[in-house]
Chains A and B, each alone.
Chain A
Amino acid sequence: DAGVIQSPRHEVTEMGQEVTLRCKPISGHNSLFWYRQTMMRGLELLIYFNNNVPIDDSGMPEDRFSAKMPNASFSTLKIQPSEPRDSAVYFCASSLAQTAAIGYTFGSGTRLTVV
């Protein structure tokens, strides 16, 4: 199993541009999570999906952020327009909903820098 795959690994963009982060969960996992990691706030859950349906998006900071999961093997997190304060590492994680208590499997993260 290739694990959770995120792309790109690094992204540098200019303020105001649209940014799309991508995630491929582990095959068979039906829960997917997007986290943001910053020095100040640590790891924050932005949104999670069960069976491709968004369950809790209360962590999404504002309307500039949106996430989709069009099928069980792909999810995107989009920021439009991007701002310097969005600079962070964004992680995607997946699990089986029935066994989420075993722990999540994380991707390697996307380091986003907005200049």
Chain B
Amino acid sequence: AQTVTQSQPEMSVQEAETVTLSCTYDTSESDYYLFWYKQPPSRQMILVIRQEAYKQQNATENRFSVNFQKAAKSFSLKISDSQLGDAAMYFCARYTQGGSEKLVFGKGTKLTVNP
């Protein structure tokens, strides 16, 4: 099965510090997209950032950026200047175009932000 793996079940960071969440994935397709979703205690799934596999440039969204290593099939999320509101579950996901076109998720990383 083509999978998405998040090896860190839990992470913690001090407020205003930087934290990196890891994700690796498996795919035989060349055309795919990668995502990070945030799930706060409210349960809502919120899209944080998206990366097209054909783009070499790493995506950034304000304090959120990714480190996309295509050859290594690695897609980590960096959160800079962490805020209390960043505390949540974070899910890495892969969408494959032209294959089984669906979003496949990792099992998530629970991020705690300490004041």
Chain A interface residues toward B at CB < 8 A: 33, 42-43, 45, 48, 56, 89, 91, 93, 100-104, 106, 108-109, 111
A106 touches B97 (CB 8 A): no
B102 touches A101 (CB 8 A): no
B104 touches A100 (CB 8 A): no
A109 touches B101 (CB 8 A): no
Task: Report the Cα distance A11→B42, complex, angstroms.
Answer: 16
The minimal Cβ–Cβ distance linking B20 to chain A, given in whole angstroms, is 21
Q: For residue A100, which residues in chain B have a CB less than 8 angstroms away from its CB?
A: 95, 101
The reply to whether the CB of B28 lies closer than 8 angstroms to some CB of chain A is: no
Main secondary structure of the interface of A (DSSP, over half): strand
Of the candidates B47, B104, B107, B108, the one whose C-beta lies within 8 Å of that of A103 is B47
Chain B interface residues toward A at CB < 8 A: 33, 35, 42-45, 47, 50, 52, 91, 95, 97, 100-108
Q: For residue B107, which residues in chain A have a CB less than 8 angstroms away from its CB?
A: 42
Q: For residue A56, which residues in chain B have a CB less than 8 angstroms away from its CB?
A: 100, 102
Task: Report the Cα distance A46→B84, complex, angstroms.
Answer: 33
B35 touches A103 (CB 8 A): yes
Interface centre among B47, B95, B103, B106 (most CB of A within 10 A): B103
The minimal Cβ–Cβ distance linking B30 to chain A, given in whole angstroms, is 14
From B4, which residue of chain A is reached at the shortest CB distance?
Answer: A42
Q: For residue B108, which residues in chain A have a CB less than 8 angstroms away from its CB?
A: 42-43
From B106, which residue of chain A is reached at the shortest CB distance?
Answer: A42
Q: For residue A48, which residues in chain B have a CB less than 8 angstroms away from its CB?
A: 102
A45 touches B103 (CB 8 A): yes
The minimal Cβ–Cβ distance linking B10 to chain A, given in whole angstroms, is 13
Interface centre among B44, B102, B106 (most CB of A within 10 A): B102
B43 touches A109 (CB 8 A): yes
